[in-house]
Amino acid sequence: MTSTQTVPWPVVPGLVFRPLTVADAGAWLELVVRIAEAEDAPWHDQLSDLMEVLGSAINPAAENTLVGVDEYGVPRVYGYVAKSVGGPVAFVFGGVDPLWQRRGIGAAVLAWQQGASRARFAAEGQAGAAARCYSREGNVPHEALLAASGFGMVRYFTEMERPLTELPAPVPVSGVSLVPFTRELGEAVRLAHNEAFADHWGSESRSPEKWEYFLGHESFRPDLSSVALDDSTGEVAGYQMSMYDADAFAKEGRRCGYTDILGVRRAWRGRGIAPALLCDAMARYKVAGMDAATLDVDTENPSGAVGLYRNLGYTAIPGRVTIAWDKELLPV
């Protein structure tokens, strides 16, 4: 793999750039929180998300991350590139301290990320590559930065919720049983997830490493998650993996169970497994003292997911739309 350190660091007065290291984790999280609070973001990365970036074997931090620190060693900007081996898209993430914004720093970091992404694609002999970034709808400075850098909007994701009152009746599925998620089912669910999402836009297979980070995330709630097993074969037919963000409760004053991923393998589709899993999730959230069930949906999902959620009482949350932006990366 060609090191992205061959891509020149941004040049910004008052900042020194270098790769992120594990020793930066705490200060990096503080920067993430500062940015989220200034932007009134509904959620932000947790420590385990950052540790996943710092510990990635596929995207080594020494080659795919940067941090800009001021004269006191305080991180003021960060950026990183995440790409699966052979994957057609390089995902770019980053942020600038509110006190250091509007100085062209974000544009400089985004330019470095594009260069780093090109280096990755070149090292793997790939053509037709793209960089992808996500923004929250209404974040005008971020949207302006991406548009000015040649990115275009390609997809919208809407967060939906359903109050946990008058819950729908459980949905029985002939020949399928719903069981709580356990670690013993972890690998089977991972493989089922990769199969179920193979035909979903923007989805990439989850490696054992990435899956382990997901299962170890501080917001993941196995007790709120469930798996649909085929009664005759014991195979995983579907699953719903749920999370609970305590920080969001502290900010909003309500408890929401979040269905992070919901999937049904192709051979078991059309039998009502998805609504059965969602109803099971709602019941679990209710028992755990939650106020609402939430999830995100790709508004252009061809599987009819939006209709499914609406039929179960989910409605869009105003102001909770995430936009995916893409830019074709031409060789230089």
- Does residue 65 sit within a domain? yes
Q: Are residues 173 and 310 in the same domain?
A: yes
Inter-CA distances, 13 with 16, 51, 66, 77, Å: 8, 29, 16, 13
Higher pLDDT, 302 or 106: 106
CB 135 within 8 A of CB 325: yes
Domain end marker among 122, 150, 178: 150
What's the pTM value of the predicted model, to 2 decimals? 0.90
What is the Cα–Cα distance from 288 to 326, expressed in whole angstroms? 39
Q: How confident is the model at residue 242 (pLDDT cuts 50, 70, 90)?
A: very high
Domain end marker among 131, 150, 169: 150
What is the CATH classification number for the domain harbouring 188? 3.40.630.30
Q: Are residues 181 and 45 in the same domain?
A: no
Q: Are residues 94 and 226 in the same domain?
A: no
Q: Which domain holds residue 244?
A: 159-318
Q: Are residues 216 and 271 in the same domain?
A: yes
Mean pLDDT of the chain: 93
pLDDT tens-digit readout, 43-66: 899 999 999 999 999 999 999 999
What is the Cα–Cα distance from 301 to 295, expressed in whole angstroms? 14
- Does residue 71 sit within a domain? yes
Exposure string over 144-155, b if 16+ CB within 10 A, otherwise e: ebbeebebeeeb
- Does residue 168 sit within a domain? yes
pLDDT tens-digit readout, 278-313: 999 999 999 999 999 999 999 876 667 889 999 999
Q: What is the pLDDT of residue 247?
A: 78
39 pLDDT above the threshold of 80? yes
Q: Which of 318, 323, 314, 319 is nearest to 160 (CA)?
A: 314
- Does residue 109 sit within a domain? yes
Percent of the chain with pLDDT over 70: 97
Top mean pLDDT of 104-118, 194-208, 245-259 is at: 104-118
Q: What is the pLDDT of residue 332?
A: 60
Q: Are residues 15 and 74 in the same domain?
A: yes
Q: What is the pLDDT of residue 1?
A: 38
- Does residue 327 sit within a domain? no
Q: How confident is the model at residue 171 (pLDDT cuts 50, 70, 90)?
A: confident
- Does residue 332 sit within a domain? no
Q: Are residues 166 and 284 in the same domain?
A: yes
Q: How confident is the model at residue 200 (pLDDT cuts 50, 70, 90)?
A: confident
Q: Are residues 134 and 181 in the same domain?
A: no
Q: Are residues 232 and 180 in the same domain?
A: yes
109 pLDDT above the threshold of 60? yes
Q: Are residues 138 and 226 in the same domain?
A: no
Q: Are residues 197 and 233 in the same domain?
A: yes
Q: How confident is the model at residue 6 (pLDDT cuts 50, 70, 90)?
A: confident
CB 77 within 8 A of CB 97: yes
- Does residue 325 sit within a domain? no
Percent of the chain with pLDDT over 90: 83
**For residue 289, how far is the Cα from the chain centroid?**
25
Q: What is the pLDDT of residue 86?
A: 86
Q: Residues with Cβ < 8 Å from 5, sequence gap 6 or more?
A: 19, 62, 63
Q: Are residues 181 and 300 in the same domain?
A: yes
Domain tally for the chain? 2
What is the Cα–Cα distance from 139 to 160, expressed in whole angstroms? 19
pLDDT tens-digit readout, 111-129: 999 999 999 999 999 887 8
Q: How confident is the model at residue 231 (pLDDT cuts 50, 70, 90)?
A: very high
Q: What is the pLDDT of residue 5?
A: 53
- Does residue 138 sit within a domain? yes
243 pLDDT above the threshold of 70? yes
**For residue 172, how far is the Cα from the chain centroid?**
31
Place of tokens 């089922």: 192
Q: Are residues 168 and 258 in the same domain?
A: yes
Domain end marker among 111, 132, 150: 150
Q: What is the pLDDT of residue 302?
A: 61
